[in-house]
Structure 1
């Protein structure tokens, strides 16, 4: 039997899109090993060629018209992906970053990580841009043969907002990253100028509205000055958009905004953190929560279903939309940390989320659509 072909739409891969890119980096090499009779090819834009080539288990084709901006990515996905798949006789297109082609064509699986653009629309300008993206996601999901998503909470949201029947949605939880502790964490983060001698609260993520970092800053400001931890919020270009909030709240001595950090620096930050805080209003999965728990770090998260799904009883929860209440919860978590048994239980809980397990379940879903396509 000739090898089957899967074209993976990585037009939006730039190396700076966070969780969706971690998803493909972790899954694709594992899925390649699980589907030995499948030949993978990737379609990417100019910014992704080298980055995709570093991990992708197959040929990488660059679509030169696609840059780092979402508009050219969307245009490429809508206008080019299916045509290129047909030209190369692909048996399946997999779009792992929320959307791909919007018309029926080559059999397609799309991974929709969340429906955040519908849940948290943002400002007027953001709503205009997000409205286009939401439409593309809706059309791509509705015309796909199978929709994958990363949590039951996300599946419910996708059904409600994108109109995809539950029978066409498969939930495959993300995995978590193995801890890779550094020998000297203080030295690794020395350049970040984190004040010594105070508890450290860590939070990580981009600056999209649903991450609710202004809410976290307001919660820190609600604490008495002498009780405030040093709060490190990584994951942004510099200058950080949060700088204005820090200045307005008078938190210059209490908050560190290091921008993007290296993998080694992130591990070091996990090692020195006394508490990981996730103030997000909504998530598809909440990968940093699981990563923190897997490292035995106490977690405080906004009390929403998806974060309870991934954090279970291992995390604490409070209302991150109430600055006073969330600030009090941060203070309480710092003065009453979990004991050794509770930390070990948290590690055990988080260790259930593995990339090997995610790859096996995803490979099974791809195989399902491939097999159905051959029977047509």
Structure 2
């Protein structure tokens, strides 16, 4: 069976979708199936390094990207389908071509953010993008999503008859390289900081984390720091980085909150290797890759009671009430003072992370691909 995997979006993806696409492409090569032939629209490594349209600086650059994306989905990708004649087309970035194609389709819709959190997106762009999504679903399509929570949300908002299948994705493969100098450059010591890695999107609730951390310091007089690693939110509406910076200054935490910006995989490994705990207070997630990454590195995790995170963590994390500063502060204090709890979370986290991974990820896809063939 011949499968065409659309990897064009890797040239702008910076969040969990990038991890999803790279892990899927790499796993398809690492764990082949004798009955499945994979064809990539782009070399994944080269496409992921293409920064032509990443982080556009003005409206003209953004417009050029949208035109390029539309041209790809509606003209160039259908041409590739005609050229390669696959049995199945997989689009892992929400959007499939609107044109009728001589093959089956799988479209990955990672979450329902566009429907549930419209305030986080420019009005015209959201309307345009959702129109692309819906047009691509007019043809017979199997929707793939990341959690049972996301499946229920999509069924509620899309109201379509397409089958929706949950395939748990893999956490990011970080490799063995570690930046040994990074912690010292950020004045960080082993076991003396809480960690969060990800963009400063509003839904991540990072101002809540900063306030909770301030309460923790006030009530314990501890020497902990808080590391918030990652780039700005993906749009002006979504970006909480200015809010966080202002809050850090107002609360007198300039020496306590570390903002290293975007970090490489080797720097991520370094941060995980010495973190006391990982905190993920997000109000809305489709999956929550960092939860599994931290667990796999032996870091105890505190996460919000957002359903997708509860589902993915599987009881291996310490749960806090979403948006509740006092409760999050109490959970951070509890973790800092209860060694038995910390040891238990580390053990459970390591076991839970084994339930995910690239081989299980691709085997689930292979099963769906072959089921579609029949």
Q: TM-score range by the shorter chain?
A: 0.7 to 0.9
Is 1:119–1:282's contact at 8 Å kept on the other side of the alignment? no
> Is 1:148–1:170's contact at 8 Å kept on the other side of the alignment?
yes
| Equivalent position to 1:356, from 332, 338, 359 | 359
Question: 1:88 Cα deviation (Å)?
Answer: 3.3
User: Quick one: structure 1 residues 181 and 144, their matched pair in 2 at CA, closer, same or farther if it must change by over 3 Å?
Assistant: same
Equivalent in the alignment of 1:42: 40
Gaps of 5+ in 2: 51-60, 234-238
Q: How far apart are 1:181 and its partner, in Å? A: 6.0
CA RMSD of aligned residues (A): 3.2
2:311 counterpart of 1:309: yes
* Aligned-partner SS, 1:277: strand
Task: Classify 1:334/1:133 alpha carbon distance in 2 versus 1 (closer, same or farther; 3 Å).
Answer: farther
| SS of residue in 1 equivalent to 2:195 | strand
Q: 1:230 and 2:218 equivalent?
A: no
- The answer to whether the 8 A contact 2:301-2:345 is kept is no
Question: CA offset at residue 94 of structure 1?
Answer: 0.7
Residues 135 and 322 of structure 1, relative CA distance in 2, 3 Å threshold: farther
Residue number among 132, 150, 154 corresponding to 1:154 in the alignment? 150
Does 2:106 match 1:113? no
- Contact kept? 2:195, 2:278, Cα under 8 Å: yes
Give secondary structure in 2 for the equivalent of 1:6: strand
Q: What aligned pairs does 1:134-149 form with structure 2 within 5 A after superposition?
A: 134-141=130-137, 143-149=139-145
Deviation of the 1:144 alpha carbon: 4.5
1:322: which partner in 2?
Answer: 324
Contact 2:285 2:306 in 1 (8 A): no
Query: 1:205: Cα distance to partner?
Result: 1.2
Conserved? CA contact 2:282–2:304, under 8 Å: yes
- Cα distance between partner residues in 2 of 1:164 and 1:228: 53
Change over 3 Å in CA distance of 1:285–1:89 after alignment to 2: same
Q: Distance in 2 between matches of 1:322 and 1:341?
A: 24
Once the 2 structures are TM-superposed, how far is the Cα of residue 160 of structure 1 from its aligned partner?
1.0
SS where residue 206 of structure 1 aligns? coil
Find the aligned partners of 1:15 and 1:88 in 2 and give their Cα distance. 25
Paired residues for 1:165-204 under 5 Å: 165=161, 168-177=163-172, 185=180, 187-191=181-185, 193-196=186-189, 199-204=192-197
Deviations 1:318-355 (A, max 9, x none): 12312222222222222224353542232112211121
**Residues 300, 339 of structure 1: CA spacing in aligned structure 2 closer, same or farther, 3 A cutoff?**
closer
8 Å contact 2:285–2:309 — kept in the other structure?
Answer: yes
Cα deviation for residue 162 of structure 1 reads 1.9
Report the 3-state secondary structure (helix = DSSP H, G, I; strand = E; otherwise coil) of the residue aligned with 2:69.
Answer: helix
Displacement of 1:177 in angstroms is 4.6
Match of 1:275 in 2: 277
Give TM-score scaled by structure 1 length: 0.82
| Structure 1 counterpart SS, 2:326 | helix
**Equivalent position of 1:91 in the other structure:** 87
Matched, 1:221 2:214: yes
| TM value normalised by structure 2 | 0.82
Give the distance between the partners of 1:340 and 1:22, measured in 2 at CA: 29
Which residue matches 2:57? Answer: none
* Deviation for aligned residue 1:292: 1.0
Query: Are 1:81 and 2:83 counterparts?
Result: no
Per mean C-alpha deviation after superposition, the further-off stretch among 136-145 and 329-338 is: 136-145
Once the 2 structures are TM-superposed, how far is the Cα of residue 311 of structure 1 from its aligned partner? 0.8
Offset, 1:96: 1.2
Cα distance per residue 1:291-320 (max 9 Å; x no partner)? 111222111111111111011221011123
Distance in 1, Cα, partners of 2:165 & 2:264: 33
* Structure 1 unmatched ranges of 5 or more: 55-64
> 1:104 and 1:66 mapped to 2: Cα distance?
28
Give the Cα separation in 2 of the matches to 1:179 and 1:310. 19
Residue 151 of structure 1: how far off its partner (Å): 0.8
Matched residues in 1 for 2:27 and 2:247: separation? Answer: 42
Other structure's SS at 2:355 match: coil
SS in 2 for 1:314: coil
Aligned residues: 352
Please give the alpha-carbon distance, in whole angstroms, between the structure 2 residues aligned to 1:216 and 1:339: 19
Deviation at 1:142, TM superposition (A): 5.2
**Pairwise CA distance, 1:71:** 5.3
